[in-house]
Amino acid sequence: MLEHVAIWTKDLEAMKAFYCRLFRGKAGKKYQNSTEFHSSFESYFLSFGSGSRLELMHMPTISDGINTNGHEAIGLTHIAFSVETKEEVDAMAKKANDLGYQVILKPHQTGDGYYEMCILDPEGNRVEVTVLPQS
């Protein structure tokens, strides 16, 4: 079972606000560590209603990756949140747009049965909102 996914971030507080505001994440206490190996490391674990968790991490020495600003490359390319109805996907796209977040794929039906949309978080990571295909 997948326990959590982690994202390195430049702006820990902006990323926390994004995932809490749009996806109702609940942030745990901020963790800070300043050992020689992890100089100025900070993180939050965000928990979601489904039991899934997302770790947001910041350390000034981490460089930009090639999967930022909506670009795609080998490796983790997006995370997806599931909702119950197409109307919720549509509402999430509108809410994200109203809050100034970039919707890069408007709500649509995919060939493999998903109804989904895709937005960028404040640091350009792709975040899908989907309705699972009917079994």
pLDDT tens, 47-73?
A: 998 789 999 999 888 888 776 666 777
Name the token pair of 48.
């979601």
User: 24 in a domain, yes or no?
Assistant: yes
Which residue range forms the structural domain that includes residue 20? 4-58
DSSP H stretches of helix in the chain: 12-23, 86-98
pLDDT tens, 99-116?
A: 999 999 999 999 899 999
Tell me, what CATH number does 36's domain have?
A: 3.10.180.10
Q: Do 84 and 44 fall into the same domain?
A: no
pLDDT, mean over the chain: 90
- Looking at residues 15-23, what average pLDDT do you find? 96
User: 115 in a domain, yes or no?
Assistant: yes
Contact 132, 116 (CB under 8 A): no
Q: What pTM was computed for the model?
A: 0.88
Domain count of the chain?
2
Q: Running DSSP on this structure, what letter comes out for residue 29?
A: P
User: 93 in a domain, yes or no?
Assistant: yes
